[in-house]
Structure 1
Amino acid sequence: MASEQSAPSQAQLKYVELLLRKGMQEEARARLEELVRQEPGCAGACYLLAVLKGEDGLPREAAELLARTLALEPENTKALNALGGALRQLGELERAAAAFAAALRVDPSFSEARINLALLLKEALRLSEAELVLREGIELAPDSVRLTYNLANVLHAQGRSLEAVAAYRETLRLDPDHLDARQNLLFALHYAPQFSRRHIYAEHLSAARSRPFRPPREPDHVRPAPGDRIRIGYLSPDFRGHAVASFIEPVLRQHDRDRFEIFCYANVATPDATTQRLQGVADQWRDIHGLTDHNAAALIARDGIDILFDLAGHTSGSRLPVFCRRPAPIQVTWIGYPDTTGLKAMDYRITDALADPPGAGDRLHSERLLRLPRSFCCYLPPAEAPDLVPPPCGANGYITFGSFNNLSKVTPEMIALWGRLLREVADARLLLKAKPLADQGVRRRILDRFREQGVAAGRIELDPGQPGTREHLEQYRRVDIALDTFPYNGTTTTCEALWMGVPVISLSGERHCSRTGASLLTNCGLADLVTQSEAAFVDMARQVARDRETLREFRAGARERLRRSPLLDAVGVTRELETVLAELWATSRR
């Protein structure tokens, strides 16, 4: 049934729209409430009121009003799209997907509904469906920046890094100032072995010249005089349940408060229990989510920060343009990104001599590399980690290799190497665990790759993962030996495996992301598990697999070994970091 709107109601709606344009939400809401009561058949009033209810955080009321709208105008694509959004907020994901799909059936060119549907499917790990939805949209609108960018993200989530790189490049061709596409491109380059260090460095320098990273004419920040203590600022989007939190929390806790005052600048969209815990560790906590770059930089300058840390690099949610405004006299990048930022405004990058050996790598950074004497990081094991149990080979009668790394690190080249290992250890199994493996299309692609390497699907177990930290770590009880990825090594996954008593075989390369394993394992007294070639990787894994008694001994002594290592020496690593920071500050004041 089509809605019928009287002339007075149409006049009322025009007036409401004028009020909304002027930002007079309260009066607009009151008039809409009255209009909906007086004329329940006015679809326009129901729709506008639903939009306001949604903005007010009342998705159930919004959904009810949108249902009324659609009873009057079943093919109202805006209402269908809005209904999908409200249902998504309510957790009714299947109904939300149906609403978005209904909008597309009415108007296949409605990109907003298409993107909303693709995002919902992506979050539900229905990645193949999301890809199809986006590709259909791109056929209709080849120059759509948003469709192309979201396709790149979906491809990257599936572990198809080379295709993702191509899609990010296409996004930037369409919109050279697309900051997220540019940063995601830089990050994605590290996953595939096809890109050299020099190429990746050149890409970073090129990105630094793009509009989002161009500094304003002159910083106009007002800074207070230096205080008695050095003021350290840590800026991150990952002060939450994220891998970075496991490496920064021990440092925040162990900083010498007599010498340093600690500020945290949180660009966190959805705070959680980890956010709350970290908030209690900082001396000063600043929420900068939603602040413009200018205002965030001004806040940091007003706080009188002496040394400002970036903990994200070119990863999601980072605020590198803030650093381009020079809110602090010394600016440092650390932990959250395995490479240079490429920015002139970033002065230093913290690392160690194992992850970044002195030499050619220094020339492929826009920052000066500062090497801590032992490890570039320290790790906080999860409090909820389960107790250790004997390796599963004792009960199974065969070795289970495992990798719980991000699927983007599981490249065709990596599968070829693992396939070679599985052919040589003929009775072994491989357990891969990653969220995208919930998607049937992704599973088929991975299994097909192994079949091409002569490895039967029955020897490969694909696990989409578990929701909780304890449940996640319990899966290491199913693994005898962990296989690190290359050229992008694991960091958190390596630490977790070692804490759960699982040895990690790592292949080391030239750049930081392919030397993280070398740093972590060497600092744990496990340098013999670091290999320098594919042949050595296979040989080492085969040797470790043969010695089951050593596997049992390794697991039994794993946690004590880590407790004695620099990796868990939070006090020592923090003091080493503080020595470097104090020297930087003293030098800057001479």
Structure 2
Amino acid sequence: MMDFWMTRLEEIQQMLARGRTSQARQALDSLREEGLVPEDEMWRVHELYGAVFHDLADAEGAAAAYNNAAQADKYLRSQREHFSNYLFALHYLPGIPADDLFAQHQVYQGLYRDTELLPPRENMDHARLRIGFLAPDFRDSSSARFYECLLTGLDARCFAVYAYALQDSEDDFTRRLQATGLTYRCLAGQSLRQQAEMIRWDEIDVLIDLGGHSAGGMGLMILAQRPAPWQLCGIGWFDTTGLPAVDAFLTDGEMDPAGTEYRFTEQLLRLPSGFCFTPSPAMQGIRRAPRQRAGIVFGCYQNFMKINRSVMDAWRHILENLPDSRLVVQDTTRLLERRAVLERRLENADLPMERVEVRIGSDRYLEDYQQVDIMLDTFPYPGGAATATALYMGVPVIALRGDHHSARLSASILAAAGHAEWIAADADEYIKLALQLAVDRAGLERQQLCLRSELEQSPLLASQTYCAAFAEAILSGGGRFLET
């Protein structure tokens, strides 16, 4: 009997891999109703429900499923992964107070009650500070656009840079990094203890986890063993980790103004700008062309999980006030069922579907920016690299400033880009700013054509300034840890 239900679960995994999400959900429902899965193995079913709801862009369902998987799992390592996935999914959901989000992250530390720390490290007087960056991988990605400058731009006279990849997957971006002279190590296939000991063996002084609770929080499981005396998180994660072994969190005054420190278990390490964007070679090769259309085209090139009813209601008001406007919504995945789901949701939200186009993800998404005049950001989970990419490709972005770190990513990016005037305080102002930008067609075209040159002179792309501020924060902020 056990072989039978395990075989059924493997078949459901294959359905998901082939993009047959609805069929996978029906199979899971049937398996659950038949009661064939032992109670102590039900976490496997909840885990697959989480994947199903993710592929159907159902953030609430995904959060509930991953939380159920964490509660039911009997294996500590995968239990941590499920809870990290649950924490990630919470950020898609509107209406969760910032204090409640923090409380959920605090629960995470309870999963490390029995973690065995590495022996305390003796103080190492290195000629150059050894700084390690830990990530699921170092392939080209949205977070890579923000951490590339740190791996390649720190002063080699002061820092020795190490990159630790938890997976063995590589691409052209990985190979470019490896060619810069940093020390690159792949930790794939090793136990958590072996991974932590490898970092300790390198005598890393400062270890920065770039993933946080993304990808199941694998980097946090290593930091929990304390392989380095000073440990940080940021860039690829957008909230407190809730893990006491993480000493500091990279941010800025826009995302976390004074008075918000209590929402973090870490010390806040505020930089003048929280992000520095490095355009990819493909982005640099495409220039904005002048507008050649009459009506305004709004766009949203984002993960469909971020699109909730509040966002759709704001979009409906914008389109109703501009009868000649259109909206293009493009996903980051190529799941056809996701597109069908979002089309139904937009229709149920009374958007004029004759003027709305819903697309799956595309390798030509950079060229597709030419088709859009104004990007409409999502909330409460806004764009990060999506916002910076749109600006660099010559598309203004209207964003809403939320009340906590993850809800202020776009606000931070727009402020660093010199366009804080496109940041709304609430949904009404979001609608107003979009309409104001759209009605001045000549001004909009001028803005589109000069956006890239503006960005190139802004703090958002000032890699040397950003690296210098980062270096100063590291050298001054970690003293009490590095001297012990």
TM-score by length of 1: 0.77
Is the 8 Å Cα contact of residues 222 and 298 (structure 1) preserved in structure 2?
no
Is the 8 Å Cα contact of residues 391 and 479 (structure 1) preserved in structure 2?
no
Question: How far apart are the structure 1 equivalents of 2:267 and 2:288?
Answer: 44
Gaps of 5+ in 2: none
Question: How far apart are the structure 1 equivalents of 2:87 and 2:206?
Answer: 25
Q: How far is the alpha carbon of 1:159 from its aligned partner?
A: 1.7
Larger radius of gyration: 1
Q: How far is the alpha carbon of 1:147 from its aligned partner?
A: 2.0
Q: How far is the alpha carbon of 1:391 from its aligned partner?
A: 5.4
Q: How far is the alpha carbon of 1:218 from its aligned partner?
A: 4.5
Matches within 5 A, 1:332-481: 332-359=232-259, 361-373=260-272, 375-385=273-283, 386-390=285-289, 392=291, 394-395=292-293, 397-436=294-333, 438-440=335-337, 442-467=338-363, 471-481=364-374
| 2:66 maps to 1:168 | yes
Q: How far does the alpha carbon of each residue in 1:274-329 deviate from its partner, in whole angstroms, 9 at most, with x for none?
A: 22222223521111112111111111111111111010000105321111111111
Matches within 5 A, 1:2-151: 110-140=4-34, 141=36, 143=39, 144-151=42-49
CA separation of 1:108 and 1:459: change in aligned 2, threshold 3 A: farther
Q: What amino acid maps onto 2:103 in structure 1?
A: A
| 2:110 maps to 1:209 | yes
Q: How far is the alpha carbon of 1:108 from its aligned partner?
A: 11
Is the 8 Å Cα contact of residues 137 and 169 (structure 2) preserved in structure 1?
no
CA separation of 1:250 and 1:354: change in aligned 2, threshold 3 A: same
Q: How far is the alpha carbon of 1:453 from its aligned partner?
A: 3.0
Is the 8 Å Cα contact of residues 391 and 551 (structure 1) preserved in structure 2?
no
| 2:192 maps to 1:293 | yes
Q: How far is the alpha carbon of 1:579 from its aligned partner?
A: 0.3
CA separation of 1:437 and 1:228: change in aligned 2, threshold 3 A: closer
Partner of 1:3: none
Q: What amino acid maps onto 1:526 in structure 2?
A: H
Question: How far apart are the structure 2 equivalents of 1:146 and 1:437?
Answer: 25
Partner of 1:257: 156
Q: What amino acid maps onto 2:81 in structure 1?
A: D
CA RMSD, Structure 1 to Structure 2 (Å): 2.0
Is the 8 Å Cα contact of residues 430 and 461 (structure 1) preserved in structure 2?
yes
Aligned residues: 474
Question: How far apart are the structure 2 equivalents of 1:282 and 1:406?
Answer: 35
Gaps of 5+ in 1: 1-106
Is the 8 Å Cα contact of residues 116 and 225 (structure 2) preserved in structure 1?
no
Is the deviation greater in 342-351 or in 118-127? 118-127
Is the 8 Å Cα contact of residues 238 and 244 (structure 1) preserved in structure 2?
no
Question: How far apart are the structure 1 equivalents of 2:33 and 2:464?
Answer: 56
TM-score by length of 2: 0.93
Question: How far apart are the structure 2 equivalents of 1:190 and 1:292?
Answer: 30
Question: How far apart are the structure 1 equivalents of 2:427 and 2:10?
Answer: 43
Q: How far is the alpha carbon of 1:223 from its aligned partner?
A: 5.7
Q: How far is the alpha carbon of 1:154 from its aligned partner?
A: 1.9
Q: Which of 38, 41, 53 is residue 155 of structure 1 equivalent to? A: 53
Partner of 1:225: 124
Q: What amino acid maps onto 1:461 in structure 2?
A: E
Is the 8 Å Cα contact of residues 401 and 428 (structure 1) preserved in structure 2?
yes
Question: How far apart are the structure 1 equivalents of 2:146 and 2:114?
Answer: 30
Q: How far does the alpha carbon of each residue in 1:11-69 deviate from its partner, in whole angstroms, 9 at most, with x for none?
A: xxxxxxxxxxxxxxxxxxxxxxxxxxxxxxxxxxxxxxxxxxxxxxxxxxxxxxxxxxx
CA separation of 1:391 and 1:463: change in aligned 2, threshold 3 A: farther
Partner of 2:226: 326
Q: How far is the alpha carbon of 1:252 from its aligned partner?
A: 1.3
Partner of 1:34: none
Q: What amino acid maps onto 2:239 in structure 1?
A: D
Question: How far apart are the structure 2 equivalents of 1:457 and 1:147?
Answer: 36
SS at match of 1:240: coil
Question: How far apart are the structure 1 equivalents of 2:152 and 2:208?
Answer: 16
Partner of 2:101: 200
Identity %: 31
CA separation of 1:572 and 1:133: change in aligned 2, threshold 3 A: same
Is the 8 Å Cα contact of residues 261 and 283 (structure 1) preserved in structure 2?
yes
| 2:463 maps to 1:570 | yes
Q: How far is the alpha carbon of 1:116 from its aligned partner?
A: 3.3
Q: How far is the alpha carbon of 1:413 from its aligned partner?
A: 2.2
Q: How far is the alpha carbon of 1:490 from its aligned partner?
A: 0.3
Higher relative contact order, structure no. (Cα contacts within 8 Å, ≥ 6 residues apart): 2
Q: How far is the alpha carbon of 1:537 from its aligned partner?
A: 0.4
CA separation of 1:350 and 1:406: change in aligned 2, threshold 3 A: same
